[in-house]
Copies of this chain bind each other. A is one copy, B any other.
Amino acid sequence: MTEQPRFELYSYWRTSATYRVRVALALKGVARRERNVDVDAGEQRSEAFLKLNPLGGLPVLVDLQAPGAAPLTQSLAILEFLEESYPTPALLPAGLHARARVRSIAGMCTVDTHPLITPRVRKYLAGEGRFDDAAWRAWQTHWFGTGLRAVEQRLAGDAATGTYCHGETVSLADICLASIIAVMRVFKIEVAGIPTVDRIMAACEQLEAFRQAEPRRQAGAPPA
């Protein structure tokens, strides 16, 4: 008999924000079942999905143990929810300044970088902005590069940086950083000159929680 999962995760194979939640659930050993929402086919605008999340965004996490509770949205809010619900293993360090450092690095990825390269931004730029494919790629490359070089500058030479972004323990900072790298790979974009980021990502890839979350390994992903 299989244990009933606590959560249902509405996801799409390549979305960065869903990746974060997948990794956090796996690190905390919390069972989920996933429901694929085909963003390329517009399923996030379907009547059935809009009933769940009227804003049409992914991921959505449904707490099956809390019937009647609103579905959880926004990946940072979900990560904090999981951290408070399952404190062990901790994905935030103990000290207040250390926690702020981890959340700040996470914000550099999820607030400063990722929102600029989402499908809705692409849609606007390709339409009203008259960006052709090359202009969109230049835009992607610019913001991924800007974000990752900033993270590199912050991590390199900071004594608080260790095997992972913060010391010797995986944290929300690693999850959010890896979520940027994961979509960059989907789009085949490379950023050079970020050795600290590269080293930390290699350490994360040693962990099954990160590996199982890779976009190409998800249901609905196209063949490589």
A residues near B (Cβ < 8 Å) are 54-55, 57, 63, 66, 69-70, 72-78, 80-81, 84-85, 96-97, 99-101, 103-104, 106-108, 110-112, 115-116, 120-121, 124-125, 128-129, 131, 135, 138-139, 142, 146, 150, 153-154, 158, 160
Contacts and interface: CB of A to CB of B under 8 A. Distances in A.
A104 B72 CA distance: 8
Please indicate which of the listed interface residues A84, A99, A115, A139 has the most CB atoms of chain B within 10 Å of its own CB: A115
Contacts of A84: 96, 99
A81 B103 CA distance: 9
Contacts of A100: 72, 77-78, 80-81
A69 B54 contact: no
Given A115-B112, A115-B116, A129-B129, A96 B124 contact: no
A106 B112 CA distance: 15
Contacts of A101: 70, 77
A148 to B, nearest CB: 12
Contacts of A75: 107
Contacts of A78: 100
A108 B56 CA distance: 12
A172 to B, nearest CB: 10
A106 B121 CA distance: 20
